[in-house]
């Protein structure tokens, strides 16, 4: 089954529209897809299953980019054309069936897509990826926060109005203070950090 899918140009809408493709694949896992999309969203389709071709729209004045799309698709007879852009192109192609989506601002896109597909089944967006994408994502996501350890605490009780405090960390960053405690030290380095507090307003501290 040859399916032409004329998808959204924006990334967010493209992710939501993946729910339609997943539904169609579940209906017929032998389907072959040709995708029409923008250069912004092209990468979201490159690892989808059953992909045969991606046609990138380079927008032109007076809608002439649709003429290029028509030229690229007219030589093939399609089993299904799905057009989420409501373009005239879908009406000018040879196809056994066509579905033209006309959206609204009343309902969430996923609800609209379910009605568009005329299904009561749950449909869900999906970002297609492979093991390389997973490895790259893991390498960029922190799985744990910085390590902090107290080295020298403030003596309590004390009559020192400018006490010091030392801590160590394995990650550089900024230091913030709460209450009446302040200091000119606002950045932490890797290793030990000694903080001398500004003069406090009380004589004895606990």
In the predicted structure, residue 106 carries a pLDDT above the cut 50: yes
In the predicted structure, residue 134 carries a pLDDT above the cut 90: no
Report the pLDDT value the prediction gives residue 80, as an integer from 0 to 100.
Answer: 96
Domain that residue 170 falls in? 148-196
E strands, 8-129, in order: 32-38, 51-57, 80-83, 98-100
Phi/psi region, residue 80 (left: phi>0; alpha: psi -120 to 50; beta: rest), is beta
Q: In what order do the strands lie in the sheet with 191-196?
A: 148-152, 164-169, 191-196
In the predicted structure, residue 206 carries a pLDDT above the cut 80: no
**The total number of structural domains that make up the chain:** 2
**Residues 6 or more apart in contact with residue 16 via CB below 8 angstroms:** 8, 109, 110, 113, 125
- What is the sign, positive or negative, of the torsion defined by CA atoms of 40, 46, 49, 50? positive
Report the pLDDT value the prediction gives residue 181, as an integer from 0 to 100.
Answer: 83
Mean pLDDT along residues 54-68: 87
- Helix, strand, or coil here: 168? strand
Report how far residue 10's alpha carbon sits from residue 111's, in angstroms, rounded to the nearest whole number: 19
Q: What is the pLDDT of residues 154-203, one digit of tens each?
A: 877 777 888 889 999 998 999 998 877 889 999 999 999 999 988 876 55
Shared domain check, 166 and 101 = no
Structural domain includes residue 206: no
Report the pLDDT value the prediction gives residue 204, as an integer from 0 to 100.
Answer: 45
Give strand pairing partners of 57: 38
Structural domain includes residue 47: yes
Shared domain check, 174 and 120 = no
Shared domain check, 152 and 119 = no
In the predicted structure, residue 205 carries a pLDDT above the cut 60: no
Shared domain check, 21 and 119 = yes
Mean pLDDT along residues 87-102: 93
Mean pLDDT along residues 8-15: 92
Higher pLDDT, 77 or 202: 77
Mean pLDDT along residues 123-129: 91
Shared domain check, 119 and 36 = yes
Shared domain check, 174 and 99 = no
């Amino acid at each position: 089954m040859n399916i032409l899918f004329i998808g959204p140009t924006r990334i967010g809408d493209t992710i939501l529209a993946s729910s339609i493709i997943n539904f169609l694949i579940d209906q017929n896992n032998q389907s072959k897809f040709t995708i029409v999309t923008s250069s912004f969203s092209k990468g979201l389709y490159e690892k989808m299953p059953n992909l045969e071709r991606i046609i990138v729209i380079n927008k032109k004045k007076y809608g002439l980019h649709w003429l290029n799309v028509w030229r690229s698709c007219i030589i093939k007879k399609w089993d299904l054309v799905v057009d989420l852009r409501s373009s005239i192109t879908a009406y000018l192609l040879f196809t056994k069936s066509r579905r033209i989506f006309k959206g609204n601002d009343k309902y969430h896109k996923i609800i609209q897509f379910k009605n568009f597909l005329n299904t009561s089944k749950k449909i869900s967006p999906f970002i297609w990826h492979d093991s390389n994408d997973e490895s790259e994502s893991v390498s960029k996501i922190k799985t744990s926060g910085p390590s902090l350890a107290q080295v020298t605490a403030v003596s309590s009780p004390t009559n020192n109005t400018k006490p010091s405090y030392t801590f160590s960390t394995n990650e550089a960053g900024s230091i913030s203070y709460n209450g009446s405690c302040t200091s000119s030290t606002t950045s932490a380095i890797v290793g030990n950090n000694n903080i001398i507090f500004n003069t406090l307003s009380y004589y004895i501290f606990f």
